[in-house]
Amino acid sequence: MKKITKAVFPVAGLGTRFLPATKAIPKEMLPIIDKPLIEYAVEEAVNAGITEVIFITSHTKRAIEDHFDQNFELEEKLMNSGKKDFLNKINRDIFQNIKFTYVRQKSQNGLGDAILHSEHLIQDEPFAIILADDLILNSPSCIKQLISAYEQNQSSIIGLNEVPKNEIEKYGIVSVQESSSGKTLLLKDIIEKPKTNAPSNLAVVGRYVLSNKIFEYLRNLEPSVGGEVQLTDAIKLMLKNEKVMGYLYEGIKFDCGSRHGYVNAIRHLAEEIFEE
């Protein structure tokens, strides 16, 4: 069985919902208190056994590359000014043996197109996808739960949660086989942001473990919802030919791509600080 060691982080989106903050700063670098959103996501992956981190990035996202690089000048200054305790905050032990790779998505043609940019690095392995916008807190983490479920089922598996009816049109929504129940569900169909006739209230979250076959479906996709190439459409094609599971993960999710979710995440983590 192939282990999941690679994770793709698509971070090339425009982040329009956070303008003007995201005019010069990547959305993923916005801090949740004192740590950028992207670091929570990479930490989640690394703690789940990922050793290769692949960012699909763009020319406006250089700060992400700098963030995971070494800053010798700052390290030296901290060393020489008796602030050694801060060193592991900027050069973290858990990232020491992780390989970081950056691929540019030149034109923001959608999440599906972003993922397709990792094909040459993933090759013939199953891999994880993490959307940093979805901050999901739990131990074991959401991606760890999905990787364990992948190992048990040996099929592509995507994170799901229930959403209120009035939010259905914001997400990819799945329908499941009648016979399936429990946490691991066999998917029948998936549809991106349904306006009417949604098949359920089970929404896709930004955590996936996919077989490399997904690239075959992504390669020939036309843009759809929002004029973008949608990962959901490729999964829809894939589940016609092979088993794709959904997994009702446990954890608290904050959609930090929206102001509401971002503020709630800060509020939630701020409580821990006030309790210190």
Spatial distance between the Cα atoms of 138 and 37, rounded to a whole number of angstroms = 15
15 binds ligand UTP (CB under 6 A): yes
In terms of CB distance, is 7 or 12 closer to ligand UTP?
Answer: 12
14 binds ligand UTP (CB under 6 A): yes
Spatial distance between the Cα atoms of 186 and 183, rounded to a whole number of angstroms = 10
| Dihedral sign (CA 81, 38, 129, 146) | positive
Exposed e or buried b for every residue in 125-141, given b needs 16+ CB within 10 A?
ebbbbbbbbbbbeeebb
State which residue has the least CB distance to ligand UTP.
13
Closest-CA residue to 209 (of 6, 43, 38): 6
**Tally of CA atoms within 13 A in the half-sphere of 249 that contains its CB:** 29
Q: Which stretch binds ligand UTP (CB under 6 A): 85-93, 108-116, 207-215, 260-268?
A: 108-116
Binding positions for ligand UTP, 117-156, rule CB under 6 A: 131, 133
Q: Which stretch binds ligand UTP (CB under 6 A): 8-16, 37-45, 66-74, 155-163?
A: 8-16
> What CA–CA distances, in Å, run from 161 to 8, 181, 264?
21, 14, 18
In terms of CB distance, is 111 or 244 closer to ligand UTP?
Answer: 111
268 binds ligand UTP (CB under 6 A): no
Least distance (Å) between residue 235 CB and ligand UTP: 14
Q: Are 110 and 225 in contact (CB under 8 A)?
A: no
Binding positions for ligand UTP, 29-68, rule CB under 6 A: 56
Of 4, 8, 11, 198, which lies in the binding site for ligand UTP, with binding defined by CB under 6 A? 11
Q: Which stretch binds ligand UTP (CB under 6 A): 11-19, 70-78, 87-95, 143-151?
A: 11-19
Burial level of 76, CB count in 10 A (0-12/13-18/19+)? Answer: exposed
Q: Are 243 and 177 in contact (CB under 8 A)?
A: no
Closest-CA residue to 26 (of 5, 44, 48, 41): 41
Of 4, 78, 111, 163, which lies in the binding site for ligand UTP, with binding defined by CB under 6 A? 111
Of 105, 118, 211, 230, which lies in the binding site for ligand UTP, with binding defined by CB under 6 A? 105
Q: Which stretch binds ligand UTP (CB under 6 A): 35-43, 92-100, 102-110, 168-176?
A: 102-110
Binding site residues, ligand UTP, CB under 6 A: 10-17, 27, 56, 105, 108-111, 113-114, 131, 133, 257
